[in-house]
A and B are shown apart, each in its own frame.
Chain A
Amino acid sequence: MDGRFDIIDAFVDGEPVDPGALKSALTDAEGRDYLVDAWLLRNVVQDEMAQESAVPRPARRAARRPWLIAAAVAGVCLVGGYVAGTRFPTAVGSPPVAESPRVETAAAPASSFPVPPPTRVIRLELEPTAAEPGAGR
């Protein structure tokens, strides 16, 4: 194979070609083989490319949308709460069963407890006076 088949490359690559020259190149069995080989080679390269990932996106893009993260967290919480509620209804989802209140009777305090003796005793003697309204009636 040599430069005679440049025109086959151009044809495979979608470049403008002279139809007569292309036909001439393809009359040769070697030229036809080359056409198929170039086609196969492209197929292999395209398959290889398909396996490769595109350029990784920068991580900072996620930081541009904090609301998206907040919405995702809220969604996870809601779903988690729902699932937990359906699986553990008494433990999480429903209010606890009210138990009868336990009544404990406290012992009455002692009837007497030490009271200090009075230090002063003030006696009040109430006598009617003239100033009082209704006094002497």
Chain B
Amino acid sequence: MTDVDRFYADHRDGVFRYLRRIVGGTDVAVDLTQEVFLRVSRAGVPATTEVGQRAWVFKIARNLALNYVRDGRRRPAVTGLPELVTPATQELGLALRHAIAALPDLERDVFLLREIAGLRYDEIASACDVPLETVRSRLHQARVTLRASLGSALDVRAQRGVSSSSAGPRGARDRQA
């Protein structure tokens, strides 16, 4: 297995999920994911730390996604959920998608790179070409906005309880590992 193959195996799902959130459609996300790793194979995986490599590939993905959205003047589409989820969960999931789609671009990207891709703050800063403090402030603002948008739906979720193992600190990174 070459470096590129291993790199693809390690990052394809995270890149796909991130892109799918940005562009809204599975088919487009698949195409853009292929484009990301086509560029990776052309350029070769940089000889740097794992942190640097993750930031690098998500920077490529973010740029492609932003170009796609800007070129078509598209906003992220809000797609339906799989039928297997319960109605209450479906309603909350749809509300979450709407709320994420309504975020300003940088806040949305910072939030998705953190929650979907599991990047660390310094990786997000590198991927988005912004200072670390900007990552902190935008991420915080995104959460505040989402909390306000979801409102009572999140309270209902709180009444149902959450699993500490799935939503605790570093939950996203642990799950990816």
| Inter-chain contact total with CB atoms closer than 8 Å | 98
Interface residues of A in 47-104 (CB under 8 A from B): 47-49, 51-52, 54-56
- Is A40 within 8 A of B162, CB to CB? yes
Q: From residue B8, how far is it (CB to closest CB) to chain A in Å?
A: 10
- Interface bin, chain B: 35 or more
User: Which applies to chain A's interface (DSSP): helix, strand, loop or mixed?
Assistant: helix
User: Which applies to chain B's interface (DSSP): helix, strand, loop or mixed?
Assistant: helix
Collect the chain A residues with CB atoms within 8 Å of residue B102's CB. Answer: none
Given A9-B136, A13-B169, the answer on whether A51 and B82 have CB atoms closer than 8 Å is: yes
- Is B172 within 8 A of A48, CB to CB? no
- Is A55 within 8 A of B96, CB to CB? no
23 pairs, A vs B, C-beta closer than 8 Å: A1-B144, A3-B137, A3-B140, A6-B137, A10-B121, A13-B121, A14-B120, A37-B143, A37-B147, A38-B143, A39-B168, A45-B115, A46-B166, A46-B167, A46-B175, A47-B93, A48-B93, A48-B96, A49-B17, A51-B85, A54-B12, A54-B16, A55-B13
